Each structure stands twice: as C-alpha cells, then as structure tokens.
Structure 1
Amino acid sequence: MVLSQLLIYLFPDPSGSHFHWNAIGVLVSAALVGITLSKHRYHPYLTEVYYVWQLKQALNKITRKMRKIEAAAQQGNADAMLALQYSYSGSRLLWQLDDNTIIMDELAVKQTELNNLAEKHNVSLNVDEYNEQLLKQF
C-alpha cells in the first residue's frame, strides 16, 4: 500500500484513476516479499514453515498419482507401498500440526490395510527410504 501511495503521489493522474499505480505497487510488493522469503527460507525462524511447505509439495506429488500407486501396491509393488506409507505418515503429521484430527480414523484404516498388504508381500516399509524418484514409474 505504501508503495502504491508513493507512486500515486509522485505521478498523479488527472482523471483520478490510479489502477495501474495500485497494480504496480501490489506486484512489486509481492515480488519483494517473495525474494525476501526465498533468501531467508533457511533462517532458523522459518525452518518449520519451510519443512511443512516441502512436505506439502511431496504429498501433492504422491496425491496426483494416487490411483496408479494404489493399484500397483495391490499388485505387490514395494515402491508403491513405500510411497503410500510416506503419504500416510506425512498426512498424519500435517493433520496433527494443524490440529485437524477429524479424519484420523479413516487414515488409521488405510494404514492398517497398507500394513496388512506389506505383510502379505513381505515388504518392509521405512519412510526414511522414500525418495521422490520412486514416483517416476507411476
């Protein structure tokens, strides 16, 4: 707002329409905030925010391929089961952080199904072994 007001003050429009100065002010301000956050994302103050942002991106990539991953997991694909395990663990963490535990029961059911499937196919699921590259096959 300050930038928009400064532009309007420096370059007044006789017609009274200052839309373009307001738009430029908003765009420049958004760019400045983006650059500042980008440069300081590793600052200890933003560590948790950056971690959650990365986790949400990873979960979104899995969600986009969920149908294929679930089908492959049913066929015994260990990578698909690992991706599901990562998705369930990450979702559980996010929901706990947001205090959004409404659908935790549904997640527990899916987790139990995945555990049974992994046991059936003799697959060990360790989320530390998850790598985004596993998703390329789906």
Structure 2
Amino acid sequence: MQLMKVDKARYRQRLNVVLVSLVASLTLLSLGFGTVLIEFFGNKTVASGESTGHFHLNLLGVILAVLTCSLVMNFYKKHEYLKEIYWVWKLKQLHNRIYRKLAKIKLAARDNDPDALTVLLFYLTTQKQVFELDNNTLTLATLQADISAIESKLADLNLEITTADFSENLLEKF
C-alpha cells in the first residue's frame, strides 16, 4: 500500500457527509423496512396495554437496512468522492494487522532486521498521518520521536529504507 496525500479539510468534510448520510439512511430504512414487514406479516389485532409482538419484524428491518447500506457502500467504495475515505479505512485495517504482530516486529527491529524496520517505519509514518487526519493529536509527539528513532537507526545501519519499500507480504514473516 502506497502513501497518499490526503487533503485534511476535504477528507473531514466528506467523511462527515458520509457518516451523516449513513446514519440517516440506516434510520429511515430501518423504519421503512420495519413498517412494511409489520404491515404484511404483523399481528393485526393488538390488545390495549400489551406488547405488539413485532420486535422480530423490527429487528429484521434493522438487519435489512444494514445490509442495504453495506451493499450501497460496497458498490460506491471506488467512487472518486469516497477515494480518500476508502484509502484511510483500508489503511486502518492494515494498521490492525500490523498491530497484532507489533511485538514480534519490534523484537526483530531491535535485532536490525531490515523487513521489521521497513514495517515499523511504514506503520509509524502512516499512523501519524491518520492521527493528523482524525485530529488525534495527543500522542503525535511520542509518535514523531519513535519515527525519528527508527530513521536514526536506519542511518546508523546505512540502510536506505522508505515507506515506499513496504509491502503487505512483509507481514507474513512475523
């Protein structure tokens, strides 16, 4: 996965539009599906003060709404409007994969393994980018110090490694 320059203002604005649209769609579709299901399959006679017994139909309406929204998002994920959002989402998934192996990667990096150093440099650099995009500035100083330490180690070892050298195949080693 290659790094991508992301315009923070545009990313935040588009992400907010997508999130609000998803919440509104889920709400309206859940209500709509639930209403239609109750109309066709619901109990027509309801005693005053008792449960309608439509919980399962409403739940099915919510499930159908989630499925519908998921299918629509999957269909449009490659659209230009969602390009940056989708890239950040995939990057966060990759961060999760790396994080699960981070202890082994750090051990190998201490032993000057070039693959581990490559993964670590990519992980920290892209994590910094995501934190800046999401306005998560609490740990940026620590993250920058970690990046500087890796870059310093690479210079000491005379290794020319950049984030462009990263490949997901490197994770298979750990």
Q: TM-score, normalised by structure 1?
A: 0.94
Rounded Cα–Cα distance in structure 1 between residues aligned with 2:42 and 2:106: 60
Q: Which segment is superposed worse, 81-90 or 3-12?
A: 3-12
Aligned-pair RMSD on alpha carbons? 1.1
Rounded Cα–Cα distance in structure 2 between residues aligned with 1:12 and 1:70: 58
Residue by residue over 1:85-117, the C-alpha shift from the partner in whole angstroms, topping out at 9 and shown as x without a partner, is: 111111111111111111111111111211122
Match of 1:10 in 2: 40
Residue by residue over 1:23-56, the C-alpha shift from the partner in whole angstroms, topping out at 9 and shown as x without a partner, is: 1111111111111111111111111110111110
What is the aligned length? 138
Question: What are the ranges of 5 or more consecutive residues in structure 1 without an aligned counterpart?
Answer: none
Greater RCO (Cα-Cα under 8 Å, separation 6 or more): 2
Rounded Cα–Cα distance in structure 2 between residues aligned with 1:97 and 1:112: 20
Match of 2:71 in 1: 35
Q: TM-score, normalised by structure 2?
A: 0.76
Question: What are the ranges of 5 or more consecutive residues in structure 2 without an aligned counterpart?
Answer: 1-30, 47-51
Residue 80 of structure 1 aligns with an amino acid whose one-letter code is A
Residue by residue over 1:64-98, the C-alpha shift from the partner in whole angstroms, topping out at 9 and shown as x without a partner, is: 11111011011011110010111111111111111
Rounded Cα–Cα distance in structure 2 between residues aligned with 1:122 and 1:70: 19
Match of 1:63 in 2: 99
Runs of 4+ with deviation above 2 angstroms: none
Work out the percentage of aligned pairs sharing the same amino acid: 29
